[in-house]
Amino acid sequence: MARRKFASIPLATAATFLILLFSIVQHLPHGERFVNQIGVVKAALPLDVSLLRTPLSLYVPALDLPVWGALAQVLLVFGVAEIVLGRKVTLFVAYACTLAGTVFARIGVSIGPDHLFGFPSYVAHYRDTGPSAAVVALAVCIAWRTRAWFTGAIVVGAMITEAVVLPNLAGLEHVVAIVTALLIAATGEVFGSYWPRVLSGVGAATLVASEGRQRTA
């Protein structure tokens, strides 16, 4: 960072720029319609349309939140994640947890408000965009990787408190993002080094066998 500045975190920089761009475009004449058609996800939309829009929906800021907050969150958390987790893992966690929230919204609307995690039918028409689920998920994965348990506990506790005090779609999606992030982090912890260890063991066994054959010869 000291040497290359923002060039050292190109993913975070590009994501921040996209959020700023979408924020400007959606306030231009006919811009909101354009943004809605390419990046706005709603549970009422067909599933294939939602899946196609999900990658860009991450960069469409929510209407009820200040855009500067989204910009600061993405630049900071995506930047740290890009350094700590790597670019590929950062993208995977961000999109996987955003997609998990999108699917959860559809399931909640389909089961109805009579269930614990169900929603009324009008929630299907809510605009389900923004980077907050990805930011929360990445913060949890960063805390897991760096063993920053206190920071991770604060993030998890704050999101659960939000979901209890203000029970809405965004709050529950944040909890879903946390659960998904924990599953990804735990899976990576258990299986992340499994195949490298297996390949190293096979390579070592092959080398020992080769040396044994040479000594025998």
Residue 216: the pLDDT is 67
Which residues of the chain register pLDDT less than 50? 194-195
Instruction: Round to the nearest angstrom and report the end-to-end CA distance of the chain.
Output: 55
Residue 74: the pLDDT is 93
CATH architecture entry for 5-216: Up-down Bundle (1.20)
d(CA 28, CA 33): 10
Residue 205: the pLDDT is 62
Residue 156: the pLDDT is 95
Residue 154: the pLDDT is 96
Other CB atoms within a 10 A radius of the CB of residue 67 amount to 17
Residue 22: the pLDDT is 93
Residue 204: the pLDDT is 63
Enumerate the domain spans of the chain.
5-216
Residue 13: the pLDDT is 93
